[in-house]
Chains A and B, each alone.
Chain A
Amino acid sequence: MRRILWVSALAALAGTAAHVGLAHAAGALEGQVDRQALNLAAIVMFFLFVIGTLGITYRAAMQTRSAADFYAAGGGITGFQNGLAIAGDYMSAASFLGISGLVFASGFDGLIYSIGFLVGWPVILFLIAERLRNLGKFTFADVASFRLEPTSIRILSATGTLVVVAFYLIAQMVGAGKLIELLFGLQYLYAVVIVGVLMIVYVAFGGMKATTWVQIIKACLLLAGASFMAIMVLVRYGFSPEAMFADAVRIHPRGDAIMAPGALVSDPVSAISLGLALMFGTAGLPHILMRFFTVSDAQAARKSVFYATGFIAYFYILTFIIGFGAITFLMTDDSFYHAGPGGVINRVGGLIGGTNMAAIHLANAVGGSLFLGFISAVAFATILAVVAGLTLAGASAVSHDLYAEVIARGRANEQREVRISKMTAVVIGIVAIILGYVFENQNVAFMVGLAFAVAASCNFPVLLMSVFWKGTTTRGSLIGGFLGLLSAVVMVVLSKAVWVQTLGFGEALFPYDNPALFSMTIAFVGIWLFSKMDSSAQAKSEQASFDAQYVRSETGIGAASAHIH
């Protein structure tokens, strides 16, 4: 392991230029990252963020009384604020560092991911958002169980939610631990515990209101920081992207190849499968779907998607510029690299901390150590905000879907349901800390992809079919949904990322990188087929109540004003 020693933290606080030195430390462990000396500037700024957000949590806790307050911030979030919060859920550390790192390493290919993440939004707006609001109350299971048998549908939706939350959460926790070890010089375990404890506090005390505001504040900080970096890059080229691209092509070892699609998407099936998972996975992410219940009406829900799409689009354009900026600023400066054998520097993989650190190093290059501290603190805040949203979604699935509907059979009192939700948040936080610890040295990169694949193959088909197809029955949804869930998980386990790279077997049994094309088909065909074959009396009555659901989903007529108390 190479250990990086950055300039002393006090000097960093005083704003002196950073000096990057290298020292060698022996005894590398697999999967361990370069740990940096304690970065005080970053820690102080992160500390300020935590103090501020804890203040907000305290205020939110004072105002949170009813279940609607806890799950949906009392419906008091505006369209603009919700747009920022949704964008915040999306602008995770993975997308900020990962995509700019991908652009840094291979140029154009980074754009393929950003576009896939973005294009789900218009489709959610056109087909899902409004109907979700008209039919549901707090979770997407409310919608799917509107006319289907609530107990089994909620078990299915809660399972889908918890599986997505679990994989997403593990990826975030491990990412958080590594990132903080790298950026702050804190030990992995401390970092994981800090993240776990803070997310419990935000969710258990402040509910959706605190979770939303943490997300909004972080989104503003991240957008501001990323804008500054992109502008500093463009200033160097007189705001001419062409000049920036030309310089990058000249500097990058792959030369002109970075302007065209490369090896990231190898075969058409993988390309389409990835596209489907990215596009429709978004429409099945429980922590995102919950956000549509935090605004006052359908108009605000639509506006929030419009703003969110705008912010996310802007953010991805920024990460693209940041990635190219990293090529032109970093690849010409040896101090950002550690040399390989014989003093040869690999201009891509040799970057200190790996290519995912491209944006962090660029922050140092364009803004000095104080700005580096700012961006590091924002990256930490980003993880915190995203895991808080995930925890709330998981806790709601347990309390609102499993406890209130399945265990208490709809007779739970509201206070007790909220209390269960808070307790679940504590349990999820503790489990997340343990899993984060257990998975420290595992390759978890596939887990976000798996979360998207499950969301696209279980939650999304069940939601879509129950709302759009009259023939959908409980039995059909159950079998199709579970088949989608199972097939997505099994195919990911048998694919290269897990079977070969994680479990160490020789040959991948599933040849493609992403299962969505197959698992989504299985889910949709399953729901259709088993609904068709279902001739029970229950199925008849479920199909007969489609009209009432249809009227309400299209107009909102009959919906109780669940969001205002």
Chain B
Amino acid sequence: MAEDAHLRVLNSPRFQELVRRRSGFAWTLSAIMLVIYFGFILLVAFAKPLLGMKVGGGVTSLGIVLGLFVIVAAFVLTGVYVRRANSEFDALTDRLKEEVQ
């Protein structure tokens, strides 16, 4: 890429808006995933009895419910990101490309 071309993109307000919105979103979702996962791992390490606690009056334990929750959360979070990225962020990127080309 020519030297000035990337500077033009870099200084474009649209580029800065795209990067700000997307990184904010991506890092927030990553943080949520990390907190959920390492929260679960720390419970496994430090609170074994808590995870063995029964829920719903049967033998099903809190650990199994939380474990399934982590699995579902991972899937839902990717869905949330893809939905927004494939519409909003891609539209912003396309407009940016038109602008600089």
Q: Which A residues lie at the B interface, using CB under 8 A?
A: 108, 111-112, 114-116, 118-119, 121-123, 125-127, 130, 241-242, 245-246, 249, 256-257, 259-261, 265, 267-268, 271-272, 275, 279, 298-299, 302-303, 305-306, 309-310, 313, 316-317, 547-548, 550-552, 554-558
Contact = CB atoms under 8 A, between A and B. Distances in A.
A119 B33 contact: yes
A115 B44 CA distance: 12
Contact of B78 (A125, A547, A554): A125
Given A108-B64, A246-B58, A115 B97 contact: no
A302 B86 contact: yes
Contacts of A309: 74-75, 78
Nearest to A552: B1
Nearest to B96: A555
10 contacts: A125-B78, A241-B60, A242-B60, A259-B61, A272-B42, A302-B86, A306-B82, A317-B68, A548-B1, A551-B1
B14 to A, nearest CB: 10
Interface residue tally on B, bucketed by range: 35 or more
B44 A547 contact: no
Contacts of B27: 126-127
Given A268-B46, A272-B45, A119 B30 contact: no
A547 B6 contact: yes
Nearest to B68: A317
B29 to A, nearest CB: 5
Contact of B26 (A119, A126, A279): A126
Chain A to chain B: the 8 pairs with minimum beta-carbon distance, closest first: A260-B52, A558-B1, A268-B45, A259-B61, A271-B45, A126-B26, A111-B67, A548-B6
Nearest to A257: B52
Residue from A119, A246, A267, A316 with most neighbouring chain B CB atoms (10 Å): A119
A123 B30 CA distance: 6
B17 to A, nearest CB: 12
Residue from A112, A246, A313, A317 with most neighbouring chain B CB atoms (10 Å): A313
A547 B11 CA distance: 11
Contacts of B72: 313
B48 A261 contact: yes
Interface in B71-101: 71-72, 74-75, 77-79, 81-82, 85-86, 90, 93, 96-97, 100
B85 A555 contact: no
Given A118-B70, A260-B61, A550-B10, 20 more contacts: A108-B63, A115-B70, A118-B71, A119-B36, A122-B77, A123-B34, A125-B82, A126-B30, A259-B63, A260-B49, A260-B52, A260-B63, A271-B44, A272-B41, A299-B86, A547-B6, A552-B6, A555-B97, A557-B5, A558-B1
Contacts of B42: 268, 271-272
